[in-house]
Amino acid sequence: MTEKESMELITSMINKAKDRYSENGVLYLLWGWLIFTCCLIQFISIHFFNYPKAYYAWYSTWVLFLYQLYYMRKRKKSRKVRIYSGEIIGYVWLVFIITYALLIYILVYTKSYAAISPAILTVFGIPTFLSGIILKFKALKIGGICCWILALISPFVNYDYQYLLEAGALVAAWIIPGHLLYQKFKIEKQYGRKATI
């Protein structure tokens, strides 16, 4: 093998792995739209109907969580190559779940309810921004930064409006990048080449 040939071999292997991993954005879209809907339901019921029990809408996230477990298992089986960046992204999301659960627990336990929404926005920014860095995908980086800006604004608004900020963060962080990723994935699949968006 010449140096050139071995480099070509490596590049082709990397591309193969990349293709197999290529984010289709489905999970971003599913979670983005579901949480976006929950936020809107909660805002409308509190703001217009003064109905405080709309938080029950959030229980729907458990259904999606179970579906995600099934989806990831299915995907893992079909994927033969495990690449380093994919592994790191997995851990970034694990860290997000741990951090999210701990923050909610601490804030509820200490009855610091007003800080919940700004803290959630802060934490949303972490996996979004870092996934953007790891996948080298600008829309996710911008989405992460949007979450942090909204987290800074959130303490200054009334708590019913905080749900609107959360909905805005989801559009910027998961829904828009999710659609872009989905589009890119479709183009790549159709033409069998890398698409730049």
**Contact set with other proteins (CB under 8 A):** 1-4, 6, 10, 87-88, 91-92, 95, 98-99, 102-103, 105-107, 109-110, 112, 114-115, 118-119, 122-123, 125-126, 129-130, 133-134, 144, 148, 151-152, 155
Which residues touch 123 (CB under 8 Å, ≥6 apart)? 96, 99, 100, 103
Q: Which is nearer to other proteins, 74 or 87 (CB)?
A: 87
Contact 96, 62 (CB under 8 A): no
- SS3 label, residue 81: coil
Q: Which is nearer to other proteins, 82 or 155 (CB)?
A: 155
Provide, rounded to whole angstroms, the least separation between the CB of residue 123 and other proteins. Answer: 7
Q: Which residue, chain included where needed, has tokens 């879209």? A: 29
| Element spanning 96, H or E | helix 84-109
Q: Which is nearer to other proteins, 73 or 111 (CB)?
A: 111
Paired tokens of 45? 């019921």
Cα 121 to Cα 116: distance, rounded to the nearest angstrom? 9
Provide, rounded to whole angstroms, the least separation between the CB of residue 162 and other proteins. Answer: 12
Cα 101 to Cα 46: distance, rounded to the nearest angstrom? 24
Provide, rounded to whole angstroms, the least separation between the CB of residue 92 and other proteins. Answer: 7
Provide, rounded to whole angstroms, the least separation between the CB of residue 105 and other proteins. Answer: 7
Q: Which is nearer to other proteins, 108 or 197 (CB)?
A: 108
